[in-house]
Amino acid sequence: MTPAPSASSREKTGFWRQFRRHRNQVALAVVALLFCTAPTPGDIGGCGQRPAELDPEIFFLSKASIDCQRCDECALGTKSCKTACDAPDSYPKSFPERCLPLVHDGEVCLRALLNASCGDYSQYMSDDSPTAPTECNFCPEPPP
């Protein structure tokens, strides 16, 4: 004859049986808890930095420097390239009225210029109808 299990061993066995039966629900609850306590989109990446307006003079001097560098790299000989290299002070000194881009916007624009292909840059520096990367279109003109 086998001895009857004690009350404490029956309680332990019953708990683990129920746990095994419901382990998928427990796992789902843990995953849901992890996602619900994660930061919301937009709360990460800023490192607590407050938005700061982009300084137009610094931005346009930086852009002129990049334009000149890329014109040399891509062997472009447009008037726009000559201006960028020889007369960077002729670049604008301010943004259009009511246009207030942030420092981050300027960083994204300059990065796009640095990473553009020579084919794209030839369009950006065209004397006839220059274009700009969308990252640099801080304040688009309203349609007529």
Q: For every one of its 144 residues, what pLDDT tens digit does the chain have, with 9 covering 90 and above?
A: 555 555 555 555 666 676 667 677 767 666 666 666 655 554 445 555 678 999 999 999 999 999 999 999 999 999 999 999 999 999 999 998 889 999 999 999 999 999 999 999 999 999 999 999 999 998 887 777
Is residue 62 within 8 Å of 99, Cβ to Cβ?
no
Which residues partner with 2 through β-bridges? none
